[in-house]
Structure 1
Amino acid sequence: MKKIYYLFVVFAAAISGCELDNYEPPQSPLTGRIVFEGNAVGIRQGISVLQLFQPGFQTVTPINVNVKQDGTFASMLFDGNYKLVRISGNGPWEANTDTIDVVVKGATSVDVPVRPYFTLSDASFSVEGEVLNATCRITNVVAGRQIERISLILGKTIILDDPTKLGPSPADPLSTKAGAGLDLSQPVSLSQNLTAEPLASAPYLYARIALKVVGVPELLYSDVYPVKK
Protein backbone atom coordinates (compact mmCIF):
# COMPACT_ATOMS: atom_id res chain seq x y z
CA MET A 1 0.00 0.00 0.00
CA LYS A 2 2.85 2.38 0.87
CA LYS A 3 4.49 1.55 -2.45
CA ILE A 4 1.31 2.44 -4.38
CA TYR A 5 0.99 5.72 -2.46
CA TYR A 6 4.64 6.55 -3.19
CA LEU A 7 4.13 5.92 -6.92
CA PHE A 8 1.03 8.12 -6.87
CA VAL A 9 2.99 11.01 -5.26
CA VAL A 10 5.78 10.66 -7.82
CA PHE A 11 3.24 10.60 -10.66
CA ALA A 12 1.46 13.71 -9.30
CA ALA A 13 4.77 15.56 -8.95
CA ALA A 14 5.70 14.66 -12.53
CA ILE A 15 2.36 15.95 -13.82
CA SER A 16 2.81 19.17 -11.82
CA GLY A 17 6.32 19.59 -13.24
CA CYS A 18 5.00 19.17 -16.75
CA GLU A 19 2.40 21.86 -16.12
CA LEU A 20 5.13 24.22 -14.94
CA ASP A 21 7.26 23.41 -17.97
CA ASN A 22 4.28 24.16 -20.24
CA TYR A 23 3.63 27.53 -18.61
CA GLU A 24 3.45 30.16 -21.32
CA PRO A 25 5.62 33.25 -20.65
CA PRO A 26 4.32 36.72 -21.52
CA GLN A 27 4.68 37.38 -25.22
CA SER A 28 3.27 40.88 -25.81
CA PRO A 29 5.93 43.63 -25.86
CA LEU A 30 5.05 47.02 -24.41
CA THR A 31 7.45 49.70 -25.65
CA GLY A 32 7.52 53.44 -25.30
CA ARG A 33 9.34 56.62 -24.35
CA ILE A 34 9.34 59.20 -21.58
CA VAL A 35 8.69 62.41 -23.50
CA PHE A 36 8.23 66.14 -23.27
CA GLU A 37 6.64 67.85 -26.27
CA GLY A 38 7.30 64.75 -28.35
CA ASN A 39 11.01 64.48 -27.52
CA ALA A 40 12.50 61.71 -25.39
CA VAL A 41 13.95 62.83 -22.04
CA GLY A 42 17.46 61.64 -21.16
CA ILE A 43 17.95 60.25 -17.67
CA ARG A 44 20.26 58.02 -15.63
CA GLN A 45 19.77 54.42 -16.69
CA GLY A 46 18.33 52.13 -14.05
CA ILE A 47 16.45 54.62 -11.89
CA SER A 48 12.93 53.56 -10.96
CA VAL A 49 10.52 56.02 -12.55
CA LEU A 50 7.69 53.86 -13.97
CA GLN A 51 5.54 51.04 -12.62
CA LEU A 52 2.73 48.97 -14.10
CA PHE A 53 -0.27 47.63 -12.20
CA GLN A 54 -2.81 45.12 -13.44
CA PRO A 55 -6.11 45.73 -11.61
CA GLY A 56 -8.60 42.98 -10.82
CA PHE A 57 -6.38 40.82 -8.60
CA GLN A 58 -6.54 40.52 -4.83
CA THR A 59 -2.79 41.10 -4.55
CA VAL A 60 -1.62 43.87 -6.87
CA THR A 61 2.16 43.66 -7.19
CA PRO A 62 3.70 46.50 -9.21
CA ILE A 63 5.78 45.66 -12.26
CA ASN A 64 8.89 47.85 -12.40
CA VAL A 65 9.56 49.18 -15.90
CA ASN A 66 13.21 49.35 -16.91
CA VAL A 67 13.85 52.73 -18.56
CA LYS A 68 17.05 53.22 -20.56
CA GLN A 69 19.16 56.37 -20.44
CA ASP A 70 17.67 57.63 -23.70
CA GLY A 71 14.18 57.60 -22.18
CA THR A 72 12.97 54.46 -23.95
CA PHE A 73 11.55 51.40 -22.20
CA ALA A 74 10.33 47.90 -22.98
CA SER A 75 8.51 45.21 -20.99
CA MET A 76 7.16 41.80 -21.96
CA LEU A 77 3.60 41.37 -20.68
CA PHE A 78 0.47 39.26 -20.94
CA ASP A 79 -2.41 40.73 -22.88
CA GLY A 80 -4.74 42.70 -20.60
CA ASN A 81 -5.55 46.04 -19.04
CA TYR A 82 -2.82 47.83 -17.09
CA LYS A 83 -2.30 51.11 -15.26
CA LEU A 84 1.02 52.89 -15.84
CA VAL A 85 2.22 55.09 -12.98
CA ARG A 86 4.99 57.69 -12.83
CA ILE A 87 6.70 57.19 -9.46
CA SER A 88 6.42 60.43 -7.54
CA GLY A 89 9.70 62.14 -6.64
CA ASN A 90 11.85 60.17 -9.09
CA GLY A 91 13.21 61.77 -12.22
CA PRO A 92 14.17 65.38 -13.09
CA TRP A 93 10.57 66.47 -13.65
CA GLU A 94 7.45 67.58 -11.82
CA ALA A 95 5.63 64.91 -9.83
CA ASN A 96 2.52 63.60 -11.58
CA THR A 97 0.34 61.01 -9.85
CA ASP A 98 -2.11 60.57 -12.74
CA THR A 99 -2.32 57.02 -14.05
CA ILE A 100 -2.22 56.09 -17.73
CA ASP A 101 -4.56 53.31 -18.83
CA VAL A 102 -2.80 50.90 -21.18
CA VAL A 103 -4.51 48.09 -23.08
CA VAL A 104 -1.94 45.50 -24.11
CA LYS A 105 -2.94 43.30 -27.02
CA GLY A 106 0.06 42.06 -28.92
CA ALA A 107 2.80 44.59 -29.60
CA THR A 108 1.77 47.86 -27.92
CA SER A 109 3.46 51.27 -27.77
CA VAL A 110 2.81 54.20 -25.45
CA ASP A 111 4.56 57.51 -24.75
CA VAL A 112 4.63 58.76 -21.15
CA PRO A 113 4.52 62.57 -20.91
CA VAL A 114 6.48 64.37 -18.20
CA ARG A 115 7.18 68.04 -17.47
CA PRO A 116 10.91 68.46 -16.77
CA TYR A 117 12.09 71.48 -14.81
CA PHE A 118 14.46 72.34 -17.67
CA THR A 119 15.19 70.94 -21.11
CA LEU A 120 18.46 70.41 -22.95
CA SER A 121 18.32 70.85 -26.72
CA ASP A 122 20.60 71.28 -29.74
CA ALA A 123 23.46 69.48 -27.99
CA SER A 124 26.56 69.25 -30.16
CA PHE A 125 30.07 67.89 -29.57
CA SER A 126 33.36 68.31 -31.42
CA VAL A 127 37.04 67.55 -30.83
CA GLU A 128 39.62 70.19 -31.67
CA GLY A 129 43.16 69.05 -31.02
CA GLU A 130 43.15 67.64 -27.51
CA VAL A 131 39.99 69.44 -26.37
CA LEU A 132 36.40 68.23 -26.43
CA ASN A 133 33.92 71.06 -26.92
CA ALA A 134 30.19 70.87 -26.28
CA THR A 135 27.31 73.29 -26.59
CA CYS A 136 23.58 73.11 -25.85
CA ARG A 137 20.57 75.24 -25.19
CA ILE A 138 18.73 75.23 -21.88
CA THR A 139 15.06 76.12 -21.54
CA ASN A 140 13.36 76.77 -18.21
CA VAL A 141 10.03 74.91 -18.25
CA VAL A 142 8.90 75.14 -14.61
CA ALA A 143 9.03 78.66 -13.19
CA GLY A 144 10.82 79.11 -9.88
CA ARG A 145 13.30 76.28 -10.37
CA GLN A 146 17.03 77.02 -10.40
CA ILE A 147 20.00 75.29 -12.00
CA GLU A 148 22.69 74.09 -9.64
CA ARG A 149 25.24 73.24 -12.34
CA ILE A 150 25.68 72.03 -15.90
CA SER A 151 28.60 69.73 -16.71
CA LEU A 152 30.33 67.99 -19.57
CA ILE A 153 30.92 64.43 -18.32
CA LEU A 154 32.93 61.59 -19.87
CA GLY A 155 33.13 57.85 -19.29
CA LYS A 156 34.56 54.64 -20.70
CA THR A 157 31.22 53.09 -21.69
CA ILE A 158 28.16 54.22 -23.62
CA ILE A 159 26.13 53.86 -20.41
CA LEU A 160 27.11 57.18 -18.86
CA ASP A 161 25.79 59.31 -16.00
CA ASP A 162 27.00 61.52 -13.19
CA PRO A 163 27.70 58.72 -10.66
CA THR A 164 29.74 56.67 -13.19
CA LYS A 165 31.66 59.49 -14.89
CA LEU A 166 35.44 59.65 -14.92
CA GLY A 167 37.05 62.30 -12.72
CA PRO A 168 39.86 63.98 -14.71
CA SER A 169 42.88 65.19 -12.75
CA PRO A 170 43.43 68.06 -12.83
CA ALA A 171 39.79 69.03 -13.24
CA ASP A 172 39.05 71.28 -16.21
CA PRO A 173 37.36 74.46 -14.91
CA LEU A 174 35.61 74.87 -18.28
CA SER A 175 33.84 71.50 -18.03
CA THR A 176 31.32 72.70 -15.43
CA LYS A 177 29.41 75.93 -14.97
CA ALA A 178 27.37 76.99 -11.97
CA GLY A 179 23.73 77.78 -12.57
CA ALA A 180 23.93 81.25 -11.06
CA GLY A 181 24.62 83.76 -13.78
CA LEU A 182 23.89 81.51 -16.76
CA ASP A 183 22.34 83.36 -19.67
CA LEU A 184 19.67 80.96 -20.93
CA SER A 185 19.00 83.13 -23.97
CA GLN A 186 22.37 81.99 -25.36
CA PRO A 187 23.86 78.52 -25.97
CA VAL A 188 25.95 77.19 -23.10
CA SER A 189 29.50 76.16 -24.01
CA LEU A 190 31.61 73.61 -22.11
CA SER A 191 34.98 71.99 -22.79
CA GLN A 192 37.26 69.28 -21.43
CA ASN A 193 41.00 68.80 -21.98
CA LEU A 194 41.49 65.18 -23.07
CA THR A 195 45.15 65.02 -22.00
CA ALA A 196 44.17 64.76 -18.32
CA GLU A 197 44.16 61.28 -16.77
CA PRO A 198 42.32 58.96 -16.78
CA LEU A 199 40.93 60.36 -20.04
CA ALA A 200 44.25 60.29 -21.91
CA SER A 201 44.84 56.56 -21.39
CA ALA A 202 41.24 55.44 -21.97
CA PRO A 203 40.93 53.53 -25.28
CA TYR A 204 37.35 54.70 -25.74
CA LEU A 205 35.50 57.70 -24.42
CA TYR A 206 31.88 58.79 -24.43
CA ALA A 207 30.53 62.21 -23.50
CA ARG A 208 27.26 63.62 -22.29
CA ILE A 209 25.95 66.92 -20.92
CA ALA A 210 24.38 66.70 -17.47
CA LEU A 211 22.19 69.33 -15.80
CA LYS A 212 21.54 69.39 -12.04
CA VAL A 213 18.51 71.26 -10.68
CA VAL A 214 18.65 72.66 -7.14
CA GLY A 215 16.90 70.30 -4.73
CA VAL A 216 16.41 67.51 -7.30
CA PRO A 217 18.56 64.36 -6.85
CA GLU A 218 18.33 63.08 -10.43
CA LEU A 219 19.98 64.92 -13.31
CA LEU A 220 18.78 65.66 -16.83
CA TYR A 221 21.03 64.43 -19.65
CA SER A 222 21.72 64.97 -23.33
CA ASP A 223 22.31 62.14 -25.78
CA VAL A 224 25.63 60.29 -25.56
CA TYR A 225 28.44 61.24 -27.95
CA PRO A 226 31.29 58.84 -28.89
CA VAL A 227 34.56 60.78 -28.62
CA LYS A 228 37.07 60.16 -31.41
CA LYS A 229 40.48 61.11 -30.13
Structure 2
Amino acid sequence: MTGPTITDIYEVIDTTWQPASKTRHGPWMIREGRGAGGRVSSATAEAPVIDADIPIAEEAMRAFGQTPLFMIRDGETALDQALEARGYRIKDAVHAYAAPIGTLAADPPPVTCFEVWPPLEIMKEVWDAGGIGPERRAVMARVPDPKTTILGRTEDQPAGAAFVAIAGPFAMTHAVETLARHRRRGLAVHMMQAAARWAARHGATHMTLITTQDNIAANALYRSLGMTVIGGYHYRIHPEAP
Protein backbone atom coordinates (compact mmCIF):
# COMPACT_ATOMS: atom_id res chain seq x y z
CA MET A 1 0.00 0.00 0.00
CA THR A 2 1.19 3.50 -0.76
CA GLY A 3 2.12 5.71 2.15
CA PRO A 4 -0.05 8.43 3.67
CA THR A 5 -0.46 11.81 2.05
CA ILE A 6 -0.45 14.98 4.09
CA THR A 7 -4.24 15.03 3.76
CA ASP A 8 -4.31 11.57 5.35
CA ILE A 9 -2.18 12.91 8.18
CA TYR A 10 -4.69 15.64 8.99
CA GLU A 11 -7.42 12.99 9.28
CA VAL A 12 -5.21 10.70 11.38
CA ILE A 13 -4.54 13.54 13.82
CA ASP A 14 -8.26 14.13 14.30
CA THR A 15 -8.85 10.43 15.00
CA THR A 16 -5.85 9.62 17.17
CA TRP A 17 -5.73 12.91 19.12
CA GLN A 18 -9.35 13.95 19.42
CA PRO A 19 -10.84 17.22 20.62
CA ALA A 20 -13.62 17.19 23.19
CA SER A 21 -16.02 18.23 20.41
CA LYS A 22 -16.07 19.27 16.75
CA THR A 23 -18.80 21.47 15.29
CA ARG A 24 -19.35 23.18 11.95
CA HIS A 25 -19.85 26.93 11.90
CA GLY A 26 -20.24 28.10 8.32
CA PRO A 27 -17.12 26.95 6.43
CA TRP A 28 -15.22 26.20 9.63
CA MET A 29 -14.63 23.15 11.80
CA ILE A 30 -14.34 24.36 15.38
CA ARG A 31 -12.57 22.16 17.94
CA GLU A 32 -13.08 22.31 21.67
CA GLY A 33 -9.75 21.59 23.31
CA ARG A 34 -10.37 22.09 27.04
CA GLY A 35 -6.80 23.23 27.57
CA ALA A 36 -5.14 20.37 25.67
CA GLY A 37 -3.19 22.38 23.10
CA GLY A 38 -3.43 23.55 19.52
CA ARG A 39 -4.14 20.25 17.77
CA VAL A 40 -7.47 19.93 19.55
CA SER A 41 -8.26 23.65 19.88
CA SER A 42 -7.76 25.04 16.38
CA ALA A 43 -10.22 25.93 13.65
CA THR A 44 -9.80 24.59 10.12
CA ALA A 45 -11.39 25.68 6.86
CA GLU A 46 -13.57 22.89 5.48
CA ALA A 47 -14.91 24.93 2.56
CA PRO A 48 -13.73 28.03 0.68
CA VAL A 49 -13.50 31.03 2.99
CA ILE A 50 -13.36 34.78 2.58
CA ASP A 51 -12.08 37.39 4.99
CA ALA A 52 -15.62 38.09 6.25
CA ASP A 53 -15.84 34.45 7.47
CA ILE A 54 -13.03 34.84 10.00
CA PRO A 55 -15.15 36.51 12.72
CA ILE A 56 -17.52 33.49 12.61
CA ALA A 57 -14.69 31.23 13.70
CA GLU A 58 -13.38 33.73 16.24
CA GLU A 59 -16.76 33.98 17.95
CA ALA A 60 -17.18 30.20 18.06
CA MET A 61 -13.73 29.65 19.59
CA ARG A 62 -14.28 32.37 22.18
CA ALA A 63 -17.53 30.66 23.16
CA PHE A 64 -15.33 27.78 24.35
CA GLY A 65 -13.09 30.17 26.24
CA GLN A 66 -10.32 29.69 23.67
CA THR A 67 -8.07 32.29 22.08
CA PRO A 68 -8.75 32.21 18.32
CA LEU A 69 -6.31 29.79 16.70
CA PHE A 70 -6.32 28.54 13.10
CA MET A 71 -4.50 25.55 11.64
CA ILE A 72 -3.02 26.47 8.26
CA ARG A 73 -2.54 23.37 6.15
CA ASP A 74 -0.50 22.90 3.01
CA GLY A 75 -1.91 25.03 0.18
CA GLU A 76 -3.96 27.41 2.35
CA THR A 77 -1.92 30.46 1.38
CA ALA A 78 -4.87 32.84 0.99
CA LEU A 79 -6.18 32.07 4.48
CA ASP A 80 -2.68 32.44 5.89
CA GLN A 81 -2.33 35.86 4.31
CA ALA A 82 -5.77 37.00 5.46
CA LEU A 83 -4.95 36.10 9.06
CA GLU A 84 -1.54 37.73 8.86
CA ALA A 85 -3.24 40.93 7.68
CA ARG A 86 -5.39 40.81 10.83
CA GLY A 87 -2.30 40.62 13.03
CA TYR A 88 -2.31 36.85 13.63
CA ARG A 89 1.18 35.50 14.22
CA ILE A 90 2.66 32.13 13.35
CA LYS A 91 2.78 29.57 16.16
CA ASP A 92 4.34 26.09 16.10
CA ALA A 93 5.26 25.23 12.52
CA VAL A 94 5.10 21.43 12.34
CA HIS A 95 6.67 18.63 10.30
CA ALA A 96 4.60 15.50 9.58
CA TYR A 97 6.62 12.28 9.33
CA ALA A 98 5.78 8.83 7.98
CA ALA A 99 7.50 5.51 7.37
CA PRO A 100 6.46 1.96 6.48
CA ILE A 101 5.76 0.13 9.69
CA GLY A 102 8.48 -2.42 8.99
CA THR A 103 11.09 0.33 8.97
CA LEU A 104 10.54 0.87 12.69
CA ALA A 105 9.03 -2.31 14.10
CA ALA A 106 11.60 -4.20 16.15
CA ASP A 107 12.00 -5.93 19.48
CA PRO A 108 13.52 -3.57 22.04
CA PRO A 109 15.96 -5.03 24.57
CA PRO A 110 14.33 -7.19 27.25
CA VAL A 111 12.36 -5.38 29.99
CA THR A 112 12.83 -2.05 28.19
CA CYS A 113 9.32 -1.38 26.84
CA PHE A 114 5.86 -2.51 27.88
CA GLU A 115 2.44 -1.99 26.29
CA VAL A 116 0.10 -0.62 28.96
CA TRP A 117 -3.53 0.51 28.97
CA PRO A 118 -4.66 2.47 30.87
CA PRO A 119 -1.40 4.28 31.60
CA LEU A 120 0.24 3.75 34.97
CA GLU A 121 0.66 6.50 37.55
CA ILE A 122 4.41 6.55 36.96
CA MET A 123 3.77 7.27 33.28
CA LYS A 124 1.63 10.25 34.25
CA GLU A 125 4.56 11.52 36.30
CA VAL A 126 6.84 11.22 33.26
CA TRP A 127 4.35 13.15 31.13
CA ASP A 128 3.83 15.78 33.84
CA ALA A 129 7.59 16.40 33.88
CA GLY A 130 7.46 17.01 30.13
CA GLY A 131 4.47 19.35 30.26
CA ILE A 132 1.94 16.75 29.13
CA GLY A 133 -0.60 17.31 31.88
CA PRO A 134 -4.07 16.01 32.72
CA GLU A 135 -5.74 17.96 29.89
CA ARG A 136 -3.63 16.22 27.25
CA ARG A 137 -3.99 12.85 28.94
CA ALA A 138 -7.76 13.34 28.76
CA VAL A 139 -7.32 13.40 24.99
CA MET A 140 -5.78 9.92 25.13
CA ALA A 141 -8.74 8.62 27.13
CA ARG A 142 -11.31 9.65 24.52
CA VAL A 143 -9.44 8.29 21.49
CA PRO A 144 -11.17 5.13 20.19
CA ASP A 145 -9.48 1.74 20.11
CA PRO A 146 -7.09 0.45 18.98
CA LYS A 147 -4.73 2.43 21.17
CA THR A 148 -2.13 1.83 23.86
CA THR A 149 0.67 3.50 25.76
CA ILE A 150 4.30 2.45 25.89
CA LEU A 151 6.16 2.45 29.21
CA GLY A 152 9.90 2.84 28.71
CA ARG A 153 12.47 1.66 31.24
CA THR A 154 16.22 2.14 31.51
CA GLU A 155 18.65 1.21 34.28
CA ASP A 156 15.80 -0.74 35.92
CA GLN A 157 13.75 2.44 36.32
CA PRO A 158 10.60 3.81 34.63
CA ALA A 159 11.93 6.59 32.44
CA GLY A 160 9.70 7.17 29.41
CA ALA A 161 6.16 7.11 28.06
CA ALA A 162 4.42 7.37 24.69
CA PHE A 163 0.90 7.08 23.30
CA VAL A 164 0.01 5.36 20.01
CA ALA A 165 -3.30 4.85 18.22
CA ILE A 166 -4.50 3.73 14.79
CA ALA A 167 -6.75 5.32 12.18
CA GLY A 168 -7.39 3.05 9.21
CA PRO A 169 -4.04 1.72 7.98
CA PHE A 170 -2.01 4.42 9.71
CA ALA A 171 -0.69 4.52 13.27
CA MET A 172 0.34 7.76 14.92
CA THR A 173 2.56 8.13 17.96
CA HIS A 174 2.02 11.08 20.30
CA ALA A 175 3.45 12.37 23.58
CA VAL A 176 6.85 10.66 23.35
CA GLU A 177 8.59 11.75 26.53
CA THR A 178 11.73 10.66 28.39
CA LEU A 179 12.74 11.98 31.80
CA ALA A 180 15.59 14.45 31.42
CA ARG A 181 18.06 12.45 33.50
CA HIS A 182 17.55 9.39 31.28
CA ARG A 183 17.87 11.03 27.86
CA ARG A 184 20.55 10.24 25.24
CA ARG A 185 20.48 6.53 26.10
CA GLY A 186 18.36 5.32 23.21
CA LEU A 187 15.11 4.92 25.12
CA ALA A 188 13.06 7.03 22.69
CA VAL A 189 14.24 4.78 19.85
CA HIS A 190 13.16 1.70 21.77
CA MET A 191 9.73 3.20 22.55
CA MET A 192 9.19 4.02 18.88
CA GLN A 193 10.17 0.47 17.95
CA ALA A 194 7.74 -0.92 20.53
CA ALA A 195 4.97 1.39 19.28
CA ALA A 196 5.54 0.22 15.71
CA ARG A 197 5.61 -3.42 16.77
CA TRP A 198 2.25 -2.99 18.51
CA ALA A 199 0.82 -1.12 15.50
CA ALA A 200 1.98 -3.85 13.10
CA ARG A 201 0.11 -6.47 15.15
CA HIS A 202 -3.02 -4.33 14.80
CA GLY A 203 -2.80 -4.09 11.03
CA ALA A 204 -1.14 -0.70 10.51
CA THR A 205 0.95 -0.31 7.36
CA HIS A 206 2.69 2.96 8.28
CA MET A 207 3.79 4.84 11.36
CA THR A 208 3.24 8.60 11.42
CA LEU A 209 3.86 11.41 13.86
CA ILE A 210 4.18 15.17 14.05
CA THR A 211 6.71 17.39 15.77
CA THR A 212 7.51 21.08 15.74
CA GLN A 213 10.15 22.15 13.26
CA ASP A 214 12.26 23.81 15.96
CA ASN A 215 12.54 20.61 18.05
CA ILE A 216 15.98 19.75 16.72
CA ALA A 217 16.47 16.62 18.83
CA ALA A 218 13.11 15.10 17.89
CA ASN A 219 13.56 15.79 14.19
CA ALA A 220 17.01 14.19 14.27
CA LEU A 221 15.60 11.15 16.08
CA TYR A 222 12.77 10.53 13.63
CA ARG A 223 15.00 10.97 10.59
CA SER A 224 17.49 8.51 12.12
CA LEU A 225 14.66 5.96 12.29
CA GLY A 226 14.08 6.23 8.54
CA MET A 227 11.02 8.47 8.73
CA THR A 228 10.56 11.16 6.09
CA VAL A 229 8.76 14.51 6.11
CA ILE A 230 5.65 14.38 3.91
CA GLY A 231 4.27 17.84 4.65
CA GLY A 232 3.23 19.95 7.56
CA TYR A 233 1.18 22.83 8.88
CA HIS A 234 1.41 25.78 11.18
CA TYR A 235 -0.94 27.77 13.36
CA ARG A 236 -1.93 31.41 13.31
CA ILE A 237 -2.88 32.72 16.75
CA HIS A 238 -4.79 35.90 17.53
CA PRO A 239 -2.61 38.89 18.51
CA GLU A 240 -4.38 39.07 21.91
CA ALA A 241 -2.51 35.92 22.97
CA PRO A 242 0.50 36.50 25.26
Higher strand share: 1
Question: Which of 1 and 2 has higher RCO (CA within 8 Å, sep 6+)?
Answer: 2
Fold conserved between structures, TM > 0.5: no
User: Which of these two proteins has the greater Rg computed from alpha carbons?
Assistant: 1
Higher helix share: 2
